[in-house]
Amino acid sequence: MEYVNKFKDILKELRLEKGLGQVELAKKLGVSKGVISLWENGLREPGMYSLILISDFFGISIDELVGQA
């Protein structure tokens, strides 16, 4: 899916802008560091619940998170 390519780049950019490592972000979202890595490498897609958590954490819409805004 095309949005995964945008999502992975946007997620990494947002994480770096906040000065967070993958481990720190994982703790804040309640997922493993491995999941963050899979998302950022485009090897796994987040589910709707995870998209909501991520968008809430970064204060952006899901549309923005997946590059559709």
Q: How do residues 57-66 score in pLDDT, each as one tens digit?
A: 999 999 999 9
Distance CA 47, CA 18 (A): 23
CATH class, 2-60 region? mainly alpha
Residue whose entry in the numeric block shows the structure tokens 């796994």: 44
Q: How do residues 2-50 score in pLDDT, each as one tens digit?
A: 555 799 999 999 999 999 999 999 999 999 999 999 999 999 999 999 9
25: buried, middle or exposed (CB in 10 Å: 19+, 13-18, 0-12)?
Answer: buried
Three-state DSSP at 46 gives coil
Report pLDDT for 66.
92
Inter-residue contact 29 to 53 (CB < 8 Å): yes
pLDDT surpassing 90 at residue 53:
yes
Every domain of the chain and the residues it spans: 2-60
